Chains A and B, each alone.
Chain A
Amino acid sequence: MSDITVFAARKIITMDPNQPEATHVAVRDGYILAVGDAECANPWGGGTLNNELADKVLMPGFVEGHAHMMAGAIWDYTYVGYHDRTDPEGQHWSGLDTLDAVVERLTEADSKLPKGKPLVGWGLDPIFLSDERLSRRHLDAVSADRPIMVMFSNFHLLCANSAALDLVGYGAHTNVEGVVMGADGEPTGELQEMAAMFPVMRRLGVDFRALSLREDAVRSYAKVCQRVGVTTATDLFSTIEESDIGLLHRITADRDFPLRLVPALGTTEAPEANAAKALALREQSTEKLRLGAIKLMTDGSIQGWTARVRWPGYIGGQPNGIWNTAPDMIHALCLEMQRAGLPMHIHVNGDEASEVVMDALAEAKAAHPRPGLRHVLQHAQMMDAPQFARARELDLCVNLFANHIWYFGDQHVAQTIGPDRAASMDGCRAALDAGVNLAIHSDAPVTPMGPLFTAWCAVNRQTMSGQTLGAAQRLSVQEALYAITLGAAFTLGMDHEIGSIETRKRADFAVLGADPTQTTPETLCDIPVHGTVLGGTVHLL
């Protein structure tokens, strides 16, 4: 009779308060038909038992509410960063803590590369390397004739070897901001900001545009997601055009493609034109491609001192940060998107940025009331209790950057905003206490995608130096698991479809090797992920 599959599991954590745990889930036509024990499909005439996942723990497929598609294709380049990472193919790359190790890894990559092809590294973060700064001398030791560049983790700097510098003609006569000169009067190889970096990138064929919206980039992004149990992920600030839709439809329709992709269109044009484009894109949505959301940038980053912060500013006395979109334009865009009924994901790092955006949204919502239209403050790292209260009043969601606590927490204490404000950063507890819908994210490739790690950060708030930063803002494991499933689904307006394992929802699961509710909170991030199930199709690693 019917095509009902009954998946057996060691345990199913449903995130549905009516039935928090189960052992079986019945699936028909890609949707969850019933949840319970081995008999759960019996009222429907029973189904075919599938024991493939019988020794695994199932959770709702994780939802990454803030990441970027280039997290996949960036792995075309050789990783030389400080932290351990795993590439889309599952290969583990150990973190490198000395320049010698960086040179060694690049030398190995050099030996495997065909002659004449440039060598590109990525992910270097000098903050974590205590010895000297990477220079062209180190890279010349890798190769004297192959052009080499290493992109730093913040994407604002790179280092090139002599062969690459020679392609451009940088030399002692060069006298330009951004081309760092050494004591010997020659360029050190370090190039700062795009104007100085671009002549080298151009000659080495490094084009960031190729890291998104190309077939291999889309597919490798999906692999990144599958490895960490993510079944729905955003691409936040997409430059998607009508002409990209065919490709995305074809790829996402593929049964083997293990992801619901949610690109949010970057605001790049006049507000009306932008809204019209997003509305047209929305019509092109499918089961696995969700279009129509908007991404709006406002300020920069806290660790780059470019976030717009309120008094008393940065502890080092650095000038306040920069707006990437003028406050006037933020108002105009919020007004137009609210009028058009388009959900917005709004990047706000500093607390002045979150304030300006809430002013703009208050105005927009007064002009065009649309109950149920969800806007999300993304990162929102410096929001305090009064700002969360206001977010609640305005019916806004927040998606906090929990991974920041681990990766940059120590720096925020020592260098950016000081211990007191750092302790309240990414205030997950304050958000929940104010009654705001909460998601937490990785911003991959800025930090690696991994919702269980992100949840671990929100639960433990441990920094790289081992300190607990802001114990008062910690979440319980249950709350953190909610934030990476239903909480994140809510921010995408998809909580009626995904985020929990209950009847009527899509059969999207994360396949885990252990039970996150039974492990100690300190080991939440160590739980193995074996793959996903998407719409009832099993995608094991």
Chain B
Amino acid sequence: MRLPLTVIGGYLGAGKTTVLNRLLSEAHGQRLMIMVNDFGAVNIDAALLESRTDDTIALTNGCVCCTMGADLFMAIGDILDRPARPDHLLIEASGIGDPAAIANAALTEPELAYGGIATVIDGLTWDTLSQDAKIGAQIRGQAEAAQLLLISKSATTPAFLPDRTTQNLATQVPLAPLLLDQRPVSTPSRKTIPHPAYTNWSGCPARSMTAPDLRAALNTRPDSLFRLKGWVDAPSGKSWEVHCVGSQTDIKPAKRTKAHLIGIGLAEQSDPSVWQSWLTASLC
């Protein structure tokens, strides 16, 4: 089974570790593994780790002239080689790093599935930092690479943010539905528990499609459908496994699996009938 990978980006002190601790404490029933690729790896709440996950791996900030962060990827390889994989892998990116450089591995590596990029935005300092002459461009890049922006430390949304699905951390809604893979498709035994802040949906694509056609169809999906995952028939008699987060699409070949999709979006923006019409028009 593919291991979903979600990357948590954001500048130093934005609150990446807070997000991870909060996720660890939520009742999502998944075994998480967390890799920390940043200075200050020590702040993950050890009590939460003991009770909820296998372990945390702290890595180098990975910027040697010549090995350019290879250690991080080698460590991902180690996790994939373990006899018992976790349900979901989360990587806390370096405060200065490009989260997409890590998340892209979930698009290339057949044993990983794309889980998305969530960038944590310090609501108090963002509008200054993102315009800073030295660091601004790099920080803005972290927000642009993300499908989800998590605003910390302030109830108001900063002015200079790209247009992305946004959640303010001050609201006490669970983060797992946004950051983690949805159930029940792959493991029916552990169902995702619905929450009023989110709208869940499922549908059945009826057509068999080539990869380019499927990609084109998925690219027309409604913006409000934040996560989408499942299987679509391939012409070869096999299936495509699909993981979509925000505007990013991950399509990988899979053995024959009954065609079905499940999706989730923010309740205030979601209208399942729109999602259903898209499915009918594009995939049926």
Interface residues of A (CB under 8 A from B): 68, 70, 155-156, 168-170, 172-179, 193-196, 198-199, 201-202, 207-209, 237, 239, 266-271, 273, 297, 301, 308, 319-320, 322-329, 347, 352, 356, 443, 445-446
Q: In the assembled complex, which residues on chain A have CB atoms less than 8 Å from the CB atom of B46?
A: none
A sample of 21 inter-chain contacts (CB < 8 A) reads: A173-B211, A176-B107, A178-B108, A194-B70, A195-B105, A198-B109, A199-B109, A202-B74, A239-B60, A268-B62, A269-B40, A271-B39, A308-B134, A322-B96, A323-B96, A323-B138, A324-B63, A324-B96, A326-B11, A326-B95, A446-B65
CA A270 – CA B135 in complex, angstroms?
A: 20
Q: Smallest CB–CB gap between B80 and chain A, Å? A: 8
Please state if B134 and A327 are interface contacts (CB–CB under 8 Å).
yes
CB contact between A268 and one of B39, B70, B102, B212 (< 8 Å): that residue: B39
CA A172 – CA B210 in complex, angstroms?
A: 11
Q: Which residue of B lies closest to A349 (CB)?
A: B65
Q: Which residue of A lies closest to B69 (CB)?
A: A194
CA A325 – CA B94 in complex, angstroms?
A: 9
Please state if A319 and B105 are interface contacts (CB–CB under 8 Å).
no
CA A178 – CA B42 in complex, angstroms?
A: 33
Q: Smallest CB–CB gap between A294 and chain B, Å? A: 13
Please state if B65 and A347 are interface contacts (CB–CB under 8 Å).
yes
Q: Which residue of B lies closest to A193 (CB)?
A: B101
B168 at the interface (CB under 8 A from A): no
CA A200 – CA B75 in complex, angstroms?
A: 15
Please state if A329 and B134 are interface contacts (CB–CB under 8 Å).
no
CA A53 – CA B135 in complex, angstroms?
A: 56
B71 at the interface (CB under 8 A from A): yes
Interface range on chain B (Cβ under 8 Å from partner): 35 or more
B59 at the interface (CB under 8 A from A): yes
Please state if A68 and B65 are interface contacts (CB–CB under 8 Å).
yes
Please state if A202 and B64 are interface contacts (CB–CB under 8 Å).
no
Q: Evaluate whether A266 and B104 lie within 8 angstroms (CB atoms) in the complex, with A209-B71, A326-B96 already known.
A: no
CB contact between A207 and one of B39, B69, B74 (< 8 Å): that residue: B74
Q: Which residue of A lies closest to B41 (CB)?
A: A269
Most buried by A among B11, B66, B100: B66
Q: Evaluate whether A237 and B64 lie within 8 angstroms (CB atoms) in the complex, with A179-B108, A270-B39, A270-B42 already known.
A: yes
CB contact between A195 and one of B108, B110, B211 (< 8 Å): that residue: B108
Please state if B41 and A270 are interface contacts (CB–CB under 8 Å).
yes
Q: In the assembled complex, which residues on chain B have CB atoms less than 8 Å from the CB atom of A446?
A: 65-66
CA A276 – CA B249 in complex, angstroms?
A: 44
Sorted nearest first, the 8 A-B pairs with minimum C-beta distance are: A195-B104, A324-B63, A173-B211, A268-B60, A270-B40, A198-B73, A195-B105, A208-B70
B267 at the interface (CB under 8 A from A): no
Please state if A199 and B134 are interface contacts (CB–CB under 8 Å).
no
Please state if A176 and B104 are interface contacts (CB–CB under 8 Å).
yes
Q: Evaluate whether A195 and B41 lie within 8 angstroms (CB atoms) in the complex, with A155-B67, A156-B68 already known.
A: no
CA A62 – CA B247 in complex, angstroms?
A: 55
Q: Smallest CB–CB gap between A489 and chain B, Å? A: 23
Q: Which residue of A lies closest to B114 (CB)?
A: A176
Q: Smallest CB–CB gap between A235 and chain B, Å? A: 11
Please state if A175 and B101 are interface contacts (CB–CB under 8 Å).
no
Please state if B253 and A209 are interface contacts (CB–CB under 8 Å).
no
Q: Which residue of B lies closest to A238 (CB)?
A: B64
Q: Evaluate whether A319 and B66 lie within 8 angstroms (CB atoms) in the complex, with A169-B253, A198-B76 already known.
A: no
Please state if A325 and B104 are interface contacts (CB–CB under 8 Å).
no
Please state if A268 and B109 are interface contacts (CB–CB under 8 Å).
no
Q: Which residue of A lies closest to B66 (CB)?
A: A155
Q: Evaluate whether A194 and B105 lie within 8 angstroms (CB atoms) in the complex, with A324-B63, A324-B96, A347-B65 already known.
A: yes
Q: In the assembled complex, which residues on chain A have CB atoms less than 8 Å from the CB atom of B110?
A: 168-169, 199
Q: Smallest CB–CB gap between B243 and chain A, Å? A: 13
Q: In the assembled complex, which residues on chain A have CB atoms less than 8 Å from the CB atom of B12?
A: 326, 328-329
Q: In the assembled complex, which residues on chain A have CB atoms less than 8 Å from the CB atom of B40?
A: 269-270
Q: Which residue of B lies closest to A169 (CB)?
A: B110
B153 at the interface (CB under 8 A from A): no
Most buried by B among A156, A177, A198, A323: A198
Q: In the assembled complex, which residues on chain B have CB atoms less than 8 Å from the CB atom of A176?
A: 104, 107-108
Most buried by A among B42, B96, B215, B252: B96
Please state if B71 and A323 are interface contacts (CB–CB under 8 Å).
no
B274 at the interface (CB under 8 A from A): no
Q: Smallest CB–CB gap between A20 and chain B, Å? A: 36
CA A323 – CA B66 in complex, angstroms?
A: 15
CB contact between A208 and one of B71, B211, B253 (< 8 Å): that residue: B71
Q: Give B72-87 as 1s and 0s: 1 = Cβ < 8 Å from A's Cβ atoms.
A: 1110110010000000
Please state if B108 and A196 are interface contacts (CB–CB under 8 Å).
yes
B49 at the interface (CB under 8 A from A): no
Please state if B58 and A269 are interface contacts (CB–CB under 8 Å).
yes
Q: Which residue of A lies closest to B67 (CB)?
A: A208
Q: Smallest CB–CB gap between B254 and chain A, Å? A: 11
Q: Which residue of B lies closest to A324 (CB)?
A: B63
CA A329 – CA B135 in complex, angstroms?
A: 12
Q: Which residue of B lies closest to A195 (CB)?
A: B104
CB contact between B68 and one of A155, A269, A270, A319 (< 8 Å): that residue: A155
B232 at the interface (CB under 8 A from A): no
B34 at the interface (CB under 8 A from A): no
